[in-house]
Amino acid sequence: MATATGKIQIEYEEGLHARPAAAFAHLASSYNHCDVKVTCNEDTVNGKSIMSLLTLGAGCGSELIIEANGEKAQELVDALIDLVRRRFDISTNGT
């Protein structure tokens, strides 16, 4: 079974609140044959669960460690890191 790990710092000003957590979990869940865990400040949760991600309390500047296991694990980690880098695709100009 393939395993991949990556780290990224949250640069989105509002951190990992409901909309970013939903976007993250939605993308993670689209990889049916992978499990994904997210660690922040020594707490590890299921990356496919919005509620679990919210319990991390990951604000701007927090580091996320993303670990995936399964088919296309590296692709999933890369996609999630890219999503965080893009500030979860949430517009900051009010639109």
Active site residue 26: no
Non-local (6+) Cβ contacts of 89 within 8 A are 23, 83
Q: Which of 2, 17, 35, 62 is catalytic?
A: 17
- Residues 43/56, Cβ–Cβ less than 8 Å: yes
Residues belonging to the active site: 17
